[in-house]
Amino acid sequence: MIRPFTRVLVGTDFSDHAARAVERAVDLALRYGASLQVAHVWEVPLVVGGTLTASDYDRISIVEHAARAQLDEAVAALDGSGVAVTALLRSGAPWDRLVTLAGETDADLVVVGTQGRTGLRRVLLGSVAERVVRLSPVPVLTVH
């Protein structure tokens, strides 16, 4: 039997769109006997003035701890799914870190949710999924 997917990487921002992507990734991992890596990328809060202060470091620490707690909760919810799950937490631009993680983890497939924005909202807000699709070294499945 050919196992096209042995490692599936799914990105989550904990939204409803991302939850559907995680569900699909779990289904694929089960179908192909693949492991699942659930990744969340948190963005460093904007620092005004260019110099980090002690309170800025506190804010960054709070954001990172909150992101870790949410990721751990999301992964814990997958206990009993029958899939070997690993949590990956990174900071930076979500699209950039997901593309990097795809290579670093030897993922065979990246799964991301998409909100389906169009027009000016997409231009102004950008699209993590669109950038991952364009730049990923491996196939990407987008889930709407």
pLDDT tens for 99-135 read 999 999 999 999 999 876 555 555 444 589 999 999 9
Task: Specify the number of domains making up the chain.
Answer: 1
CA–CA gap between residue 7 and residue 35 (Å, rounded): 5
Within a domain: residue 1? no
Domain span at 40: 7-143
CA distances from 59 to 35, 44, 55, 66, 80 (A): 34, 9, 6, 11, 35
pLDDT tens for 72-82 read 999 999 999 99
Fill in the DSSP letter of residue 128. Answer: H
Within a domain: residue 33? yes
pLDDT tens for 3-58 read 589 999 999 999 999 999 999 999 999 999 999 999 999 987 666 666 777 777 78
**pTM (whole model) above 0.85:** yes
Within a domain: residue 49? yes
Within a domain: residue 2? no
Predicted pLDDT of residue 125: 42
CATH number for the domain that contains residue 76: 3.40.50.620
Predicted pLDDT of residue 144: 85
